[in-house]
Amino acid sequence: MTLRPALQEFAQTQEIVLRTHDQDRGEEGWKTMTAQVGASRLCEELGEVLTAMFGQDDVCDFLISSLQDHVEECGIDVGFDPVHARKEVADVANFCMFLHDIADRLAPGSARLIDAQS
């Protein structure tokens, strides 16, 4: 299977970001993470994405904080459906790739992690 160019660039950027954390967390630090911790961290990262896109915003902060509180309280591991979760996580990653590609089109030739690592 040949990956679409935007997906290939996104995957390369993901690898670069993962490698920046290898020193602290190991090459596969996520393998010891529970689904609940992973979902909570996803909320944190989503907050960082929204801040990068729209600046600091009280409404975004409130929504992300509320979502994170819910994840931490609900015991996500109990009702975890791995088959459905894998599909939905891939769908979330697709939207992240869309935003990655849109950012590149809005600021072509801007500081891209791939170019910086070459």
DSSP string for 52-84: HHH-S-HHHHHHHHHHHHHHHHHTTTTT--HHH
Is 64 inside a domain boundary?
yes
Residues 61 and 93 in one domain: no
User: Does residue 39 sit in the same domain as residue 65?
Assistant: yes
pLDDT grade for 118, boundaries at 50, 70 and 90:
low
54 in any annotated domain? yes
Q: Residue 45 is part of which domain span?
A: 34-80
DSSP tag of 86: H
Q: Which residues of 9-21 are buried (b: 16+ CB within 10 A; e: fewer)?
A: bbeebeeeeeeee
Query: How many other C-beta atoms are found inside a 10 Å radius of the C-beta of residue 64?
Result: 20
Q: Count how many domains the chain has.
A: 2
Task: Report the mean per-residue pLDDT for the chain.
Answer: 84
In a domain, 53, yes or no: yes
Task: Give 85-116 pLDDT, tens digit per residue.
Answer: 899 999 999 999 999 999 888 876 665 665 65
Q: How high is the pLDDT of residue 70?
A: 80
For residues 13 and 100, the answer to whether their CB atoms sit within 8 Å is yes
Residue 4 resides in a domain: no
For residue 27, being part of any structural domain is answered with no
Q: What is the pTM of this model?
A: 0.79
Residue 59 lies in a domain: yes
